[in-house]
Structure formats: structure tokens, C-alpha cells
Amino acid sequence: MADIRARTRAPSRFTIRLNGWYNRSTRLGRLQAWVKNEGTSSYTGVLQRVIVEDSTWWSGTYQYYQNQAMRKMYPNASGVTLTIPAGDSVLKDTTFSISASWRQDSCMIVVFLQNTQAQGDTIQQGAQARVKAMTAIEEEAGEVYPQNISLALKSANPFSRFVDIGYALPMDTKVTLKVYNSSGQVVRTLVDGQAPHGYHTARFDGAGLPNGVYLVMLRDRESLLTRKVTLLR
């Protein structure tokens, strides 16, 4: 973990951005890792995705608490080999699960890119995300209903064509969900009208729009929530 944190602070031609969501009831989640190569040459490396847990009690010969204890690697310890052309990006998607014996709020997903030789300074770039931070919208089925209005992205950001937007309503209400460009103009109206309480998903399709940063705005009678998304082809 120390090596990964050091790499995220060091200059690198790579950028890793994470997006995902997690259901606390089923203990199942999904992680999307967007890796960009900002260099001038193609790169082939291994993408590793690891679940670690903090404050884990080790009861072997020597008993102690340890942090960043590795729980599972996806899809396995070999990781995924990928090739990223110069100036291009790759999106890798995986589902994951948190075992019933692990504490959900102590778990974190660590993603890092390393060279294929696994020698010397192998870590090129890294990123991490707390599982509890991926639960802005937790339950989407059963008898569980949201207590507060919320807005969250449910697919990769930046996105190349479309992005799924999740929003939760604690009561039936009139709501608008609109997308604005950097000039403040409405480019898409995703929802406009009465909506029932519960969890919902809307899709923002960027077809025909230029690359750039857009503002997703959710408004009901009392609240205004926003999220920035980036269209990058």
C-alpha cells in the first residue's frame, strides 16, 4: 500500500480513475477502472484489482491487528494484461463480493498498474476506493427505501458514449434531471415530471455532443444535487 500511495503522488504518464457501486444487503458490487496512457508510446502491463481490509485480527502464533490485509484479487493473482496505445485509454469492468466474514466498512478496493516483468519499480500508477464510499445508492430491491434524496453515477466517468445516473427519492415528488454544458445550456432533459419514491436510473447519451465536462443536475421541490461527468472519446 505504501508503494501504491507513493506512486499516485509521483509523476506518471498514467491516470487511473475508479467508479463503482455496492449493495450492502447482497454484499455484491461492481468496479470500473479507467486507465489512460498520456505518454507518446504504447504500453503493455498488468492491471491488478485487490480487496483489502483494515484492522484485521491475526490469531496465529503471534496475535495482532494488521491493516491492508489482502482478502482477494480479481480475477486472480495474475491480474489482467492490457495494452494501452499512446494517448488512449482502456476501461476494465469487474464484479466483486465482500465475504460475510469481512467488515464491509473496513474494506477497500486497490487498483494498480504494473509492468509485465514484475521486477524493480513495477508499479506505474495506483488508485483506491473505500467500499462504503460506493454505497450512495445502496438497495435497489426489496422493502428498503431511501431516507434522503441522492444522486450518483453508476457507470464509468469519464465516459465515451453514455453514462448511467442513479438517483433516489424518499417520497413521490416532481423532479427534473437535466444535463448542462460548460456554458450553462441544457443539452439533455432526462427526467421532467412526477416520479415515485425509490431508486431510479437514467441514461445520459452523449451522441452528437462535443468532448468536455457536463453538469448533471437533480432538482425536486426542496433540494438541488449536482454531479460532473466528462465526455471523452
Convert the pLDDT of each residue in 178-222 to its tens digit.
999 999 999 999 999 988 887 788 999 999 999 999 999 999 887
CATH number at residue 89: 2.60.40.10
Instruction: Write down which residue in 134, 162, 195 finishes a domain.
Output: 134
pLDDT over 50 at 17, yes or no: yes
Contact 37, 105 (CB under 8 A): no
- Cross-strand bridge partners of residue 15: 36
Q: Is the pTM of this model over 0.85?
A: no
Q: Of 5-9, 46-50, 135-139, 160-164, which range is least confident?
A: 135-139
Residues 76-133: tens digit of each pLDDT: 989 999 999 998 888 888 889 999 989 888 898 999 998 876 544 588 888 888 887 7
Please state the domain count of the chain.
Answer: 2
Q: Which domain holds residue 178?
A: 150-231
Q: Which of 14, 4, 164 is nearest to 89 (CA)?
A: 14
Please tell me the distance from the alpha carbon of residue 144 to that of residue 134, in angstroms, as a whole number.
17
Residue 38 and residue 108 in one domain: yes
Give the confidence band of 12 by pLDDT, cuts at 50, 70, 90: confident
Rg, C-alpha atoms of the chain: 20
Which triple of cell numbers denotes residue 25? 444487503
Given this model, what pLDDT does residue 115 score?
84
Residue 122 and residue 187 in one domain: no
At residue 79, the 3 state secondary structure works out as coil
Contact 221, 174 (CB under 8 A): yes
Residues 120-150: tens digit of each pLDDT: 458 888 888 888 777 544 434 333 456 678 8
Residue 139 lies in a domain: no
pLDDT over 90 at 22, yes or no: no
Q: What is the mean pLDDT of residues 140-167?
A: 76
Q: Which amino acid does the sequence have at 143?
A: E
Q: Which amino acid does the sequence have at 206?
A: G
pLDDT over 70 at 164, yes or no: yes
Residue 102 and residue 32 in one domain: yes
Calculate the CA 60 to chain-centre distance. Answer: 35
Residue 140 lies in a domain: no
Give the percent of the chain with pLDDT over 90. Answer: 35
pLDDT over 60 at 225, yes or no: yes
Residue 225 lies in a domain: yes
Beta strands in the chain, from DSSP E residues, in sequence order: 14-23, 28-37, 43-53, 56-59, 63-66, 69-74, 80-84, 89-97, 107-115, 123-130, 150-153, 162-169, 173-180, 186-195, 198-205, 212-219, 224-231
